[in-house]
Amino acid sequence: MLDVRSLVKCYSSVPAVDNVNFAIHPGQVLGYLGPNGSGKSTTVKIITGLMEPTRGQVLFQGCNIREDLASYKRVIGYVPEEANLYPFLSGLEYLELVGRLRDLPGPLLTKRAGSLLQLFSMHPHRHTAISAYSKGMRQRILLISALIHNPDLLIFDEPLSGLDVTSALIFRKLVDGLSREGKMIFYCSHVLEVVEKVCTHVTILQKGKQLACGTIDDLRSFQAMPSLEAVFSHLVQEVDTEESAQAIVDAVIST
């Protein structure tokens, strides 16, 4: 189980993450929602061990992740919001590097890389340099590299970014399948209709503070709203979207 307790992160005097608490049990998929700048990626950087919190703790299977980050990193898979893939490596070389860093035995690494490249339609491109990949091809390599060591916890920050329709549909079903296998999944996204379909639980953040946390059904019935989108708009939306759009059009055409 991943247990996040009283998490606070301050870059300046205003906290970017302000007393956030949640838990993810095996088989659960937590949707992590919030407007731009609400603290989602900051939370991701803390729960992946890339950044230290100002206060609070992240416990994995009861242990503080910062006590043994190397072991923790071997049991998590992470798809970042913005990837730094080595452009001069081929897709296969990158997966081999990741697999070795995660101590995957050679034969198993070769087998998994081969089958995942096939399944993500990347096999024909495996020897091509990453610099020549399209955005969606890079994203597929990132997804494979997050899965290749069969991690217990998956952390996705906008994982559908750049994926085409078919790959996105496969990914949604993949999240279902992984949760049925007992994986814990943290799913950070703005795409509410996908979150509503794939997540068992949801947390909504605004300006670093947790506005709501529970199952999707809990939130819908608590707020007496028909959809997650309606709940989100009710809790978070600060502007009249139609008015804002018209104001932008007016500004663009103004002389």
Ligand X SMILES: Nc1ncnc2c1ncn2[C@@H]1O[C@H](COP(=O)(O)OP(=O)(O)OP(=O)(O)O)[C@@H](O)[C@H]1O
Binding site for Mg ion (CB under 5 A): 40-41, 81
Of 109, 103, 110, 102, nearest to 77 by C-alpha is: 102
Report, in Å, the least distance between residue 35 CB and ligand X: 7
The b/e string for 144-175 (b: 16+ C-beta within 10 A; e otherwise) is: bbbbbbebbbbbbbbbbbbbeeebbebbeebb
Closest distance to ligand X from the beta carbon of 43 (Å): 7
Separation between Cα atoms, residue 33 and residue 17, nearest integer Å: 13
Residue 77 binds: one of ligand X, Mg ion, none (C-beta under 5 to 8 A by kind): none
Site string (19-48) toward ligand X, x via CB under 6 A:
---------------x-xxxxxxx------
112 touches which of ligand X, Mg ion, none (CB within 5 to 8 A by kind)? none
Q: Does 16 bind ligand X (CB under 6 A)?
A: yes
Q: Which does 16 bind (CB under 5 to 8 A by kind): ligand X, Mg ion, none?
A: ligand X
In terms of CB distance, is 91 or 208 closer to Mg ion? 208
User: Facing residues of 153 across strands?
Assistant: 76, 184
Burial 85-123 (b: 16+ CB within 10 A, else e): beeebbbbebbbebbeebebeeeebeebbeebbeebebb
CA angle centred on 120, ends 106 and 192, rounded to 5°: 125
CB of 94 to ligand X, least distance (A): 24
Stretch 79-118: interaction string toward ligand X, x if CB under 6 A? --x-------------------------------------
> Distance between CA atoms of 46 and 52, rounded to whole angstroms?
6
Shortest distance in whole angstroms from residue 81 CB to Mg ion: 5
- List residues binding ligand X (CB under 6 A): 11, 16, 34, 36-42, 81
